[in-house]
Chains A and B, each alone.
Chain A
Amino acid sequence: MATVSVRQALKSFGTTRILHGVDVEIADGEFVVLVGPSGCGKSTLLRMIAGLENISGGEIAIDGRVVNNVPPKDRDIAMVFQNYALYPHMTVRQNMAFSMKLAKAPADIMEAEVQRAAKILGLDALLDRYPRQLSGGQRQRVAMGRAIVRHPQVFLFDEPLSNLDAKLRVQMRSEIRELQQRLGTTTIYVTHDQIEAMTMADQIVVMNGGRIEQSGAPLALYDKPANLFVAGFIGSPAMNLLPGTVTDRGFRIPSGTLLPLPPHAPANAATYGIRPEHMSLSEDGVEGTIVLVEPTGSETQVTLRFGETVLTGAFRERVQGRPGDKLRVLPDLDLVHLFGPDGARLPS
């Protein structure tokens, strides 16, 4: 178990700068999720921590020791790859024991460790199979088994669930989280899926274009997104972000509709943010035209049009309207987010 510090990390491939000075502080035993759209540099950062990519600038420290020039095997980390990277010519047992075999561990200790990991992951019956004889979820578990037999200081996961089907993904999500809590190992987990990030993380680090947009606890990011990017990225369905201007009667969007503003709203707000789940059906609300009604059972999502502007609401009630009908919705004034012209959150 260890802390991990990334300080002003830079990465360039040739002349292309991929990471522009990234800072992350990870406490001992913490589960940190790096999340961001594809190509934002999450894997690159993770691989720099693992030692698979060199560090073009800045510093990475594991357990207080700067590891910039420490080879991967001496960093005391274990990594689960997106494609699992299981050795196809080795059985599950051999896959898990490989690192110990290289370290010349005694056979009985090796077997005991493999058995322990297999028990934790429910792989007991599969130890003599080859990777190609396993399902996706089982391969995923073997990859994790290979990591835990080593008792590393840090676990690194690179999109470990993206090759699984939706149901298995949900199941493995909680399994990984449970496992991490049981072992208490510091974990860095990369994903592009914000739901995974929200459900698993102690701390979320939102990345975009090689920079960190915001980091913090999942609900902190949900409640107070620091900028438009985080506001749009965290939360599902995504927050409505409506451009417009502040007037004394409300926030005017291009269609001319006036959305209600909280008292003392900053005058320079250029974007009005409201989450779909923070709107209610109300006769006092603003009137829009229904474009789409999507009932999910527990709630109903309704897409409304105000001129060219589209707004999505999610309601506990069952909405009866049909496309073309009018509907009045009211944003919860306490939960409106306002952003300045530069995209940064404005204090309210």
Chain B
Amino acid sequence: MSATTAAPVWTKMRPKQGALSRLFDWKPFLAFVCLLPAVGLLMTFLTYPLGLGIWLAFTDTTIGREGIWVGLENFIWLMDDPIFWSAVFFSVFYTGVATIGKFALGLWLALLLNQHVPFKSMLRAIILLPWIVPTVLSAIAFWWIYDPQFSIISYLFVDVLGWRDQNIDFINTAWPARWSLIAANIWRGIPFVAITLLAGLQTIPPSLYEAALLDGASGWQRFRYITFPMLLPILAIVMTFSIIFTFTDFQLVYAITRGGPVNSTHLLATLAFQRGIQGGQLGEGAAIAVSMIPFLVFATLFSYYGLARRKWQQGEGND
């Protein structure tokens, strides 16, 4: 008996593609779909408010009344406004001094933490604390520290140490108030600087220091010729961010002095808020906010060119 069974034939079926499936195989469409969420978020939360802010700056909108296009009128007004100029001055001063302070102390701390110190990880955690606390909370803490009557620092100097016979005036006159705000901002900004610079320090290979040691470099020379130049790229980035955050600061000033006494501690952001939201002059507030843009663009360019110059780091050709 010979039974020949036909071997089952298997033909690979190519399933017919539906229209939807073909659409998703089309690259431009797929790219569009994948980008949609990100673009949507950016549009909603960045581009739209920014565009609206810029638009408002050229109108005379107030709260509850749709404005009309007034061209540069808001800006021309601001030109003659001493409080605006005082806010510009203080924004620049605040940013400048606080940045120097934050970077001097932050770098010093980072260098310290990069050494073999006892309780290193605990110290690192402690240093991060000011940054973890919500700004408003630390601002309120500073508000108390600077309180004319209940200030703990005054208490220390007057009652405990007896070095002074009256409480320190922290925030009731212009210059002390300005310095007090700067001190608070430095305190808050140090962790960010210290931790990011520490991360940068740790990318420097220890063998470079050993080579420099053999080449005869002193501690200062190792910092000057190895640490600092190798840290410069990350320093430039961190500094740009820090400048932007400081220049646009709002919470600390608003919580501690609200721009007072007599408008002496207004930053552009707090002034914009006061005029635009509290005063209801949306157009004028927006104009103040928009006038921050040139400063921010400058800070960004500074970082960009500060970084691009470092030929040893990236790019291929030498010439």
Which residues in A have some Cβ–Cβ distance to B below 8 Å? Answer: 50-52, 71-73, 77-79, 81, 83, 85, 87-90, 98-99, 102-103, 128-133, 146, 150
- Besides A71-B213, A77-B214, A83-B207, 5 other CB < 8 A contacts? A73-B216, A87-B225, A99-B215, A133-B316, A146-B215
Q: Residue B312 contacts which of A79, A81, A132 (CB distance < 8 angstroms)?
A: A132
Contacts of A102 in B (CB 8 A): 215-217, 221
> B199 near A: Cβ within 8 Å?
no
Interface string of B169-207 (1 = CB under 8 A from A): 000000000000000000000000000000000000101
Contacts of A130 in B (CB 8 A): 311-312, 318
Query: Which residues B122-172 have CB closer than 8 A to chain A?
Result: none
Total of A-B residue pairs, C-beta within 8 Å: 68
B226 near A87 (CB under 8 angstroms)? Answer: yes
> B36 near A: Cβ within 8 Å?
no
Residue in A closest to B316 when the chains form the complex, CB atoms? A133
B215 near A98 (CB under 8 angstroms)? Answer: yes
Known: A130-B311, A132-B312. A85 touches B211 (CB 8 A): yes
Query: Which residues B264-318 have CB closer than 8 A to chain A?
Result: 310-313, 316, 318
A87 near B216 (CB under 8 angstroms)? Answer: no
Pairs A–B under 8 Å by Cβ, sample size 21: A51-B214, A52-B214, A73-B215, A79-B211, A83-B205, A87-B226, A88-B230, A89-B229, A89-B312, A98-B212, A98-B215, A98-B225, A99-B216, A102-B215, A102-B216, A102-B217, A102-B221, A103-B216, A130-B311, A146-B211, A146-B215
A81 near B229 (CB under 8 angstroms)? Answer: no
Which residues in B have some Cβ–Cβ distance to A below 8 Å? Answer: 205, 207-208, 210-217, 221, 225-226, 229-230, 310-313, 316, 318
> For the complex, would chain B's binding face be called helix, strand, loop or mixed by DSSP majority?
helix
Closest CB in chain A relative to B148 CB, distance in Å: 51
**Closest 8 CB pairs between A and B?**
A99-B215, A85-B207, A73-B216, A85-B211, A130-B312, A89-B229, A89-B312, A102-B216
Contacts of B311 in A (CB 8 A): 130
B210 near A89 (CB under 8 angstroms)? Answer: no
Q: Residue B211 contacts which of A71, A81, A128 (CB distance < 8 angstroms)?
A: A81
Query: How far does the alpha carbon of A132 sit from the alpha carbon of B318 in the complex, in Å?
Result: 10
Query: How far does the alpha carbon of A51 sit from the alpha carbon of B215 in the complex, in Å?
Result: 12
Residue in A closest to B319 when the chains form the complex, CB atoms? A128
Contacts of B215 in A (CB 8 A): 73, 98-99, 102, 146, 150
